[in-house]
Structure 1
């Protein structure tokens, strides 16, 4: 084997089922900065801590032409191939370096006139950056509410009407926006995302509608195309719409009514065909009543509404969600963890998840980073999750959240009884918006 391996100028390595190095040629050993004798018999992660072979052995899937950064700082394009026996078990792992640095890789592409392949790659990359990545399959939920909402979403996708997605932070509003676009007749056209809360108020107009050359100090030569024009023929996703300044709300309303835009510094209008998908974690009805959101814009946006329930209202989805998130996190970290112990799952289901799915993903990523095996145990969970469990199992002592919720439920029940079930009067007496009252009636399962 040494006579076969050593003369080959391509770096090659062979490891056994325990990830111990059984064969490596001189070229590879030199590349790693070791003598062959120092490497043979060692586990591959002792030689290169960044090795993904343990992950490849778990998935039993080859990684072809992967970009890999070795512990010594070298970056190369590599193959990692698991060799399976007749029982579909991993016997060996075969690895090789195709290109020892990225410059060499680019040189080969140019030398062999493969620029079309490169162009296709960048087209796909551009599609990923400016297009919708998710579909209905990415939305996990067998809960009755979630199934109903997904069905509504699929019907909404078939129309060209504006869509308003409501839900707490971290519930997955963007997933729904992507899915609606991907399932619509506009799926081949652009999908442009704008976070209205992340752009300073004085820049939002030029960001949405673009500007002409010389429109203001610092304006780019030749001007700039706005997000609405970029989305022409497709969809624009206006996230955090509830944080949009009032002066911009009136300009957005005109765009929705007239289906035309006017760049900053221009006196000409341009017709556009864009479907607006807006999302917010605010109660827009409440903002309208407070004078912080235009009522006419609210009704323009609120043609088709999708309200996503928080994770605490669909705890039966935590099993499936955790399983999906573990696969995603394991792939990202190159660390194969695929189980959650029953005790750990008990803690996860007891938590109220104020940060929703995003918080669950963060908790699982922390646990995957800390665990030394393929199963997440309670000791790898944050301390606040354990404290929640203790407080809920401590008999008559209730958490502040439980006490407040119980008081809310009793107050609403009492006033509804007083008003003979009149929800408008009940909302006024309790000094809350009607939408908040409806939400609480549903959340606490109050019979009217």
Structure 2
């Protein structure tokens, strides 16, 4: 029996002028922007509506690399991952923002041979109009459920927690056991160790996983507003109160879990009210005399030593023992021997995907620097360092030169990432560039303040920013 399947690797299956001409005749009348590129990311076909959208003529586009036409294109990244990106929000170089598909076409061996792209909606307003015109009950319900899950649901699970060190394995074991109970959980650990990650996983691993997961940062809410935030208020309870009142976080978390982060910063007055909720399982809104029954499991966290706060009279002893039923200590990154390599690998994948830049390797020397650093900022600091490095990388490998000076110390100042001795000029330029970058980070991009701190003129700073491509 004759095999009529098309062999994508056969010599006759090429983007000949005739085939391209045929594709243009098919797609040019289509009012949807469409593009076809080859495995070298050269544009082979684009319909007229897409060329107009990009503010070029077709003749100016055909044959050019897609990055030359739109420097924000993610097609090179899609070709690296070999995974389609469906309905992505994309900002084109000319300022237009649309919803796009990017689809790699693979051969029988799984290698990329073409890339197909199209713009579903040419601007976000058009996208919003389509949604508004199609508000069917089922679609609305699905949308609201997703939004509610995003606002009130736990995002992370046990698989999100990376680590095989003895202390990390013990913390995960204790957390899994705690998840099977309805007891209150107290998470202890330094800032950046991942206490919130554990709180999410405990909720998702419990019988309450389909119920709300509500987060409250006790240190971020002013003391005078914390009560109304936690318990809600009645209409007219105070000047500025919303009409109809407000539902508090405990009521929103009914049936699920509430995560009280930075519990050590909660004012003493609020500690007494929280203790009553834990004892009586009921809340009282501000401005109301009625009580409301709630079924909420409390997961609290702090980077402070609560027992010392109890001795100093800054934290109630009775509340401490109410919260301290299942205590889990999250180890610092310095204590997690052997975990830095695993975390680095996962974080490189995560950050690379978020940025849209294909970086998947780290040199042994750069890894040595990461392994020997103390990491006072823990996992959060490691992620920030890797994000900075990925932004600086030109290839697909993180080298020592891409790490901050405080981590790679003097090695990177003397040697290039190829291992060759560097010139004095290159060392000075690298030091100058690093100093400007760190000062801009410190001033949050304020160039006037940066120039003053560096004791140079603003025009001189702009010249150096342009020279080192720091914009």
Class of the TM-score when normalised by the shorter of the 2 chains: 0.7 to 0.9
For residues 410 and 170 of structure 2, what CA distance do their matches in structure 1 show?
A: 31
**1:381 counterpart residue number:** 403
Q: Deviations over 1:19-52 (max 9, x none)?
A: 1112112111111000112112221111111111
Matched length: 390
* Structure 1 residue 342: Cα displacement: 0.6
**1:352 counterpart residue number:** 374
1:301 maps to 2:297: no
- State the secondary structure of the residue aligned to 1:296: helix
Q: Scaled by the length of structure 1, what TM-score is found?
A: 0.84
**1:62 counterpart residue number:** 84
1:253 maps to 2:272: no
- State the secondary structure of the residue aligned to 2:29: coil
For residues 17 and 280 of structure 1, what CA distance do their matches in structure 2 show?
A: 51
- State the secondary structure of the residue aligned to 2:115: strand
* Structure 1 residue 110: Cα displacement: 5.0
Out of 285, 290, 304, the position equivalent to 1:282 is: 304
For residues 259 and 153 of structure 2, what CA distance do their matches in structure 1 show?
A: 11
Asked whether the equivalents of residues 209 and 225 of structure 1 are also in contact (C-alpha less than 8 Å), the reply is yes
**1:405 counterpart residue number:** none
- State the secondary structure of the residue aligned to 2:338: helix
For residues 182 and 272 of structure 1, what CA distance do their matches in structure 2 show?
A: 20
- State the secondary structure of the residue aligned to 1:19: coil
Q: Which moved more, 1:163-172 or 1:51-60?
A: 51-60
Cα 1:203–1:389, aligned 2, differ >3 Å: closer, same or farther?
Answer: farther
Identify unmatched segments of 5+ residues in structure 1. 391-448
Q: Deviations over 1:156-201 (max 9, x none)?
A: 0000000000000000000110011111111111110000000001
For residues 122 and 31 of structure 1, what CA distance do their matches in structure 2 show?
A: 33
Asked whether the equivalents of residues 13 and 23 of structure 1 are also in contact (C-alpha less than 8 Å), the reply is yes
**1:162 counterpart residue number:** 184
* Structure 1 residue 113: Cα displacement: 5.9
Q: Scaled by the length of structure 2, what TM-score is found?
A: 0.80
Out of 205, 211, 216, the position equivalent to 1:183 is: 205
Please show how residues 132-211 of structure 1 align to structure 2 within 5 Å. Answer: 132-211=154-233
Out of 41, 66, 89, the position equivalent to 2:63 is: 41
**1:95 counterpart residue number:** 117
For residues 334 and 165 of structure 1, what CA distance do their matches in structure 2 show?
A: 34
* Structure 1 residue 366: Cα displacement: 0.3
For residues 119 and 233 of structure 1, what CA distance do their matches in structure 2 show?
A: 21
For residues 31 and 86 of structure 2, what CA distance do their matches in structure 1 show?
A: 19
Out of 122, 138, 145, the position equivalent to 2:144 is: 122
For residues 87 and 227 of structure 1, what CA distance do their matches in structure 2 show?
A: 53
1:327 maps to 2:360: no
1:270 maps to 2:273: no
For residues 144 and 304 of structure 1, what CA distance do their matches in structure 2 show?
A: 19
**1:15 counterpart residue number:** 37
